[in-house]
């Protein structure tokens, strides 16, 4: 236990050094260039919108069938009129809270702290919010996204630059497959391959293990190395079932198996990781960077499933990726069925990561929704997502569309 506490303390120090270094670096550049935007201005207005949208196709998961999704959109405006957008994607089974919980946290605690600051830098506010309110990572992530969006626009640079600089301009995108049969999968795979997709995530956890093994075998026999397959059980199995599955697919080319066991069973995950050749990924077990340190310390995963909103925004997700790199763990950029603001925030971070898995990443969320108030879908072409070449987050938000979709919300002003 003493070792774990020291490890987390070190990561805390590293977090503050790197966060403040990158933000200070670009503030100094702005001032040296004679810019009048050398510091953040006070946030004078905040608007919050709880929105909902239907899925184009229902999604069968371990927890049930998802037919719609909700999110909390955040608009911040600073004293100079610069606008930043953020998004929270709470999903009770994963984040322990709902959209309504995120709205209350923003209204009662988080936004008052932001608006009380004379210079609300993303890193400084992100560090302060934990002292104001425990948990609510998704709501805190929305604040960080919006502040990074503002800072990037003030400095005329993309958020990826604030996070250290883009290593790439695009990434392959995967397509998710519901809990089901190989025959159902084939119909979707054939359709999406024609559109340029080559990576597919197989949702599992509700069918008998033997049928899931046969499902993988059928798909590999049909597609061979033409597609990359990932299995995701969403905590749906016990240790015996997970071992049976891994033994049954031991000759396959699965890229990795995501969260086969309950998130609290790190010992079981470590045993699976040690006795099988297929990499194990941590998703539900990975909330904050302290979880990342605990997972890495016992070798319970060789892949981290990084979700910008679930993990508390790009700055916190960046710390998780740093832990992963330190321990030789790769990162898979996942999603929570998100609208375009979270998707682009995740992308701005993803392009800065050197240790990504060699597979598609989850930047298809907006393509699965009946409507999205952003232009993020335009960045996904032929199975590839392209980094927008705009300042800030780089996504255009149709505010009138947001207001049309809103089922609740509030407005704060100083």
Give residue limits of the domains in the chain: 2-160+400-413, 162-397
CB proximity list for 183: less than 8 A, separation 6 or greater: none
Q: Mean pLDDT over residues 243-252, rounded? A: 95
Residue 32 pLDDT exceeds 50: no
CB proximity list for 136: less than 8 A, separation 6 or greater: 97, 101, 102, 105, 110
Q: How many CB atoms lie within 10 A of CB 33?
A: 11
Q: Are 159 and 146 in contact (CB under 8 A)?
A: no
Residue 227 φ then ψ, to 5°: -135, 160
Report strand pairing: 83-88 vs 170-172: unpaired
User: pLDDT at position 411, please?
Assistant: 97
User: pLDDT at position 93, please?
Assistant: 67
Residue 15 pLDDT exceeds 70: no
User: pLDDT at position 310, please?
Assistant: 95
Q: What percent of the chain has pLDDT over 90?
A: 84
Q: Mean pLDDT over residues 316-335, rounded? A: 97
Q: What is the pLDDT of residues 174-206, one digit of tens each?
A: 999 998 999 999 999 999 999 999 999 999 988
CATH topology for 162-397? TIM Barrel (3.20.20)
Q: What is the pLDDT of residues 84-114, one digit of tens each?
A: 999 999 987 666 689 999 999 999 999 999 9
User: pLDDT at position 1, please?
Assistant: 29
Q: Are 269 and 261 in contact (CB under 8 A)?
A: yes
For residues 205 and 234, what is the distance between their CA atoms, to the nearest angstrom? 7
DSSP reduced 3-state for 380 = strand
Domains 2-160+400-413 and 162-397 share a fold: no
Q: How many CB atoms lie within 10 A of CB 18?
A: 17
Q: What is the pLDDT of residues 338-362, one digit of tens each?
A: 999 999 999 999 999 999 999 999 9
Residue 389 pLDDT exceeds 70: yes
Distance from the first to the final alpha carbon of the chain: 45
User: pLDDT at position 94, please?
Assistant: 65
Residue with more model confidence, 126 or 25: 126
CA 381, 176, 340, 345 torsion: positive or negative? negative
DSSP reduced 3-state for 248 = helix
pLDDT, averaged across the chain: 91
Query: Structurally, what CATH architecture does the domain formed by 2-160+400-413 represent?
Result: 2-Layer Sandwich (3.30)
Residue with more model confidence, 7 or 331: 331
User: pLDDT at position 154, please?
Assistant: 97
Q: Mean pLDDT over residues 378-390, rounded? A: 98
User: pLDDT at position 65, please?
Assistant: 84
Q: How confident is the model at residue 24 (pLDDT cuts 50, 70, 90)?
A: very low
DSSP character string of 67-98? EEEEEEEEEEEETT--EEEEEE---HHHHS--
Task: Please give the C-alpha separations between residue 357 and each of 185, 310, 318, in angstroms, as whole numbers.
Answer: 23, 19, 16
Cβ burial of 210 (10 Å; 0-12, 13-18, 19+) is exposed
Residue 371 pLDDT exceeds 50: yes
User: pLDDT at position 183, please?
Assistant: 97
* pTM of the shown model: 0.90
Q: How confident is the model at residue 16 (pLDDT cuts 50, 70, 90)?
A: very low
Q: How confident is the model at residue 28 (pLDDT cuts 50, 70, 90)?
A: very low
Residue 34 pLDDT exceeds 50: no
């Amino acid at each position: 236990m003493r070792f774990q506490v020291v490890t987390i303390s070190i990561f805390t120090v590293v977090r503050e050094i790197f966060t403040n270094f990158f933000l200070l670096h670009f503030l100094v550049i702005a001032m040296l260039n004679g810019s009048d935007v050398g510091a953040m201005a006070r946030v004078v207005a905040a608007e919050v919108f709880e929105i909902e949208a239907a899925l184009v196709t229902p999604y069968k998961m371990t927890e049930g069938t998802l037919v719609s999704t909700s999110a909390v959109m955040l608009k911040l405006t600073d004293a100079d009129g610069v606008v930043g957008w953020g998004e929270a994607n709470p999903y009770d089974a994963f984040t322990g809270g709902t959209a309504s919980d995120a709205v209350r946290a923003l209204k009662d605690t988080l936004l008052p702290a932001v608006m009380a600051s004379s210079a609300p830098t993303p890193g400084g506010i992100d560090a302060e919010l934990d002292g104001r309110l425990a948990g609510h990572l998704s709501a805190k992530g929305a604040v960080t996204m919006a502040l990074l969006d503002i800072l990037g626009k003030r400095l005329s640079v993309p958020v990826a630059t604030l996070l250290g600089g883009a290593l790439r301009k695009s990434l392959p995108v995967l397509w998710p497959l519901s809990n089901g049969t190989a025959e159902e999968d084939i119909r979707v795979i054939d359709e999406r391959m024609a559109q340029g997709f080559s990576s597919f995530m197989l949702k599992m956890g509700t069918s008998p293990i033997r049928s899931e093994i046969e499902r993988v075998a059928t798909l590999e026999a049909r597609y061979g190395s033409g597609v990359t397959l990932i299995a995701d059980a969403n905590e749906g199995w016990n240790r015996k079932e997970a071992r049976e599955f891994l033994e049954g697919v031991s000759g396959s080319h699965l890229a990795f198996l995501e969260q086969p066991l309950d998130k609290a069973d790190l010992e079981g995950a470590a045993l699976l990781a040690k006795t099988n050749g297929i990499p194990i990924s941590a998703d539900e077990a990975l909330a904050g960077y302290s979880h990342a340190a605990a997972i890495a310390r016992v070798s319970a995963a060789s892949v981290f499933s990084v979700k910008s909103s679930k993990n508390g925004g790009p700055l916190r997700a960046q710390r998780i990726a740093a832990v992963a790199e330190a321990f030789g763990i790769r990162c898979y950029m996942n999603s929570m069925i998100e609208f375009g603001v979270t998707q682009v925030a995740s992308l701005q971070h993803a392009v800065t990561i050197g240790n990504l898995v060699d597979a598609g990443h989850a930047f298809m969320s907006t393509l699965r929704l009946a409507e999205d108030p952003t232009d993020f879908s335009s960045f996904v072409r032929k199975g590839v997502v392209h980094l927008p070449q705009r300042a800030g987050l780089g996504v255009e938000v149709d505010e009138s569309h947001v207001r049309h979709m809103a089922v609740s919300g509030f407005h704060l002003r100083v």
